[in-house]
Amino acid sequence: MRIHNTFSRSKEDFVPLTPGEVRMYVCGVTPYDYSHIGHARSAMVFDVVRRYLRFKGFRVTMVRNYTDVDDKIIRRANQEGVPARQISERYIATEVDDMASIGIMAPDVAPKATEHIAEMVAWIERLVAKGIAYIVDGDVYFEIRRFPPYGRLSGKNLDELLAGARVEVDERKRDPRDFALWKAAKPGEPSWPSPWGPGRPGWHIECSVMSVRYLGETFDIHGGGTDLVFPHHECEIAQAEADTGKTFSRYWMHNGMVNLGAEKMSKSLGNTLAIREIVKRHEPDALRLWMLGTHYRNTLEWSEERVQESARALQRLRSLIDEAERLAPAQPGVRDQTAVGAVDVAALPASVPDPDLGRTLAPRIEAFVAAMDDDFNTPASLAALFDLSRDLHRYRDAVSRGEKAKGAFVAAVDVLLQLGQRGLGLFERSATVDGPTDEVRSTAERLVAEREAARARRDYRRADELRAEVQALGAAIVDTASGPQLKWGGT
């Protein structure tokens, strides 16, 4: 496998730190409003990366965080006259539902910034002790000139840098490009105690702390949108490597933005498309197919018509699955929504009882894998998938004429599912999802109780793991003023 590394600006052979294991961190949302199509694109990109790594046989640990203390959250809370935590928890709950609605697998860990404040304070203390950070009136700043490699990720020259996003120009700073690690408390803002007085963490320190907490001082992949390269990811590297002296992330992956017309989509411009509104108009698989039709590093232009075209193209694949299910309803794998994990690609052609059909499918399978191994080239992998579907449509016609065996057709459709479902996350929402059984509901309720106990003892890592287990059962935990509630898919 080769991955384009933003750091080196080139494709590199992917060699994980630990053979057979991949640890990846993806920057999540700032929960102050509903998640939009831009959030969906980033989540979808790294959902596919995660799925395909598992398809290849890697054990993957994925962390996706919530920045639940931020200027935008505070402004929203002040406008509504409620605590900032109420805003963040409200939109974290909706984000969980939104991501599930478009088939995004829950992360293994979903940490919140506010649950790691003590670790952030300790980290900042170390940077101050090393002379890399300095204190001004209760604020703490990272002095970028004390970290000469600053700018390597973004390719920016220190002498040309301007203050980045979310970094306010402050004459008290030694250099206008220094960024905040800790912000002194202001009226109307949430705050926490620290050696420098009450305050709250800066934006960048959160992800450095949470990624190292759950993945170690050096991990394999760090992902996010291209808008995060500078200053956020640049600052993450500086904070982490100045503290540990080790390489922070070995591979940096960044997805392109989603544009509406010629403009970048953003809440501040008022041109967003909320996920919860989009799924009312478009099937999640059609949305996924449309997104994967553009390489993840390229800009994606929003188009209702293109998504509708994807829905029609999807039907050509779905008709094969429907026919296979009609011919052999009990066939293992067909519409198996739980199918994830490694696939023995070499064995797929031989799994088809018609050797001629197996030989026909072999180059399609090889093309699919070659495309995905080449920096997750989903447009090329989809082309291979549709080539395979054309082969299967012709074979289906031969079956209907009594010239070919239905068993070989059904087995070949399972190959299509193995690639599309396990490799790309397609078809998982094809089947009707029934309500939870009493046993599943009981298990989920037990996990919720265990999560509450973990939160009470401040074991937030375990709490996040339990939330992910509940999501795997098909439910979301919605934290309310009266306590946690379970929300099941489709209810």
Instruction: Quote the domain boundaries for residue 244.
Output: 2-277
Burial (Cβ within 10 Å: 0-12, 13-18, ≥19) of residue 327: middle
Residue 285: C-alpha distances to residues 34, 53, 116, 261 (Å): 21, 20, 36, 23
CA dist 357 and 391 (Å) reads 9
Q: Last residue of some domain: 424, 448, 472?
A: 424
Asked whether residue 255 falls in the same domain as residue 350, the answer is no
pLDDT of residue 339: 54
DSSP 5: E
Asked whether residue 381 falls in the same domain as residue 455, the answer is no
Contact 98, 44 (CB under 8 A): no
Asked whether residue 22 falls in the same domain as residue 106, the answer is yes
Asked whether residue 76 falls in the same domain as residue 165, the answer is yes
Residue 295 lies in a domain: no
CA dist 374 and 379 (Å) reads 11
- Using alpha carbons only, give the angle 51, 54, 58 rounded to the nearest 5 degrees: 145
Q: Which amino acid, one-letter code, is at 281?
A: R
Mean pLDDT, residues 355-384: 97
Mean pLDDT, residues 450-463: 85
According to DSSP, the residues that pair with 476 across neighbouring strands are: 487
Residue 429 lies in a domain: no
Structure tokens at 55: 């398809």
Asked whether residue 259 falls in the same domain as residue 401, the answer is no
CA dist 114 and 128 (Å) reads 21
According to DSSP, the residues that pair with 363 across neighbouring strands are: none
Asked whether residue 366 falls in the same domain as residue 463, the answer is no
pLDDT of residue 356: 96
pTM of the model: 0.85
Asked whether residue 61 falls in the same domain as residue 99, the answer is yes
Residues 62-114: tens digit of each pLDDT: 999 999 999 999 999 999 999 999 999 999 999 999 999 999 999 999 999 99
pLDDT of residue 298: 98
Residues 148-197: tens digit of each pLDDT: 999 999 998 777 665 443 445 667 888 888 999 999 999 989 999 999 99
CA dist 163 and 121 (Å) reads 24
Residue 294 lies in a domain: no
Q: Last residue of some domain: 424, 447, 474?
A: 424
Residue 476 lies in a domain: yes
Asked whether residue 414 falls in the same domain as residue 457, the answer is no
What CATH number does residue 48 fall under? 3.40.50.620
Residue 20 lies in a domain: yes
Burial (Cβ within 10 Å: 0-12, 13-18, ≥19) of residue 297: middle
Asked whether residue 169 falls in the same domain as residue 32, the answer is yes
Residue with tokens 């439910």: 475
Structural domains of the chain, count = 3
Residues 388-412: tens digit of each pLDDT: 999 999 999 999 999 999 999 999 9
Asked whether residue 25 falls in the same domain as residue 133, the answer is yes
Residue 115: C-alpha distances to residues 40, 210, 227, 456 (Å): 25, 10, 25, 12
Residue 287 lies in a domain: no
> Residues of 72-103 as b/e, b for ≥16 C-beta within 10 angstroms?
bbbebbeeeeeebbebbbbbbbbbbebbbbbb
Asked whether residue 446 falls in the same domain as residue 374, the answer is no
Residue 266 lies in a domain: yes
Going by C-alpha positions, the residue among 22, 40, 30, 28 that lies closest to residue 425 is: 40
Do the strands 199-201 and 179-184 form a parallel or antiparallel pair, or are they unpaired?
antiparallel
According to DSSP, the residues that pair with 142 across neighbouring strands are: 133, 179
Going by C-alpha positions, the residue among 49, 22, 44 that lies closest to residue 372 is: 49
Residues 262-290: tens digit of each pLDDT: 555 555 555 568 999 899 889 999 999 99
pLDDT of residue 165: 37
pLDDT of residue 437: 62
Mean pLDDT, residues 324-329: 84
Q: Last residue of some domain: 391, 424, 457?
A: 424
Residue 219 lies in a domain: yes
Contact 64, 268 (CB under 8 A): no
| Extended beta strands in 217-275, E state | 219-225, 249-255, 258-260, 263-264
Asked whether residue 403 falls in the same domain as residue 443, the answer is no
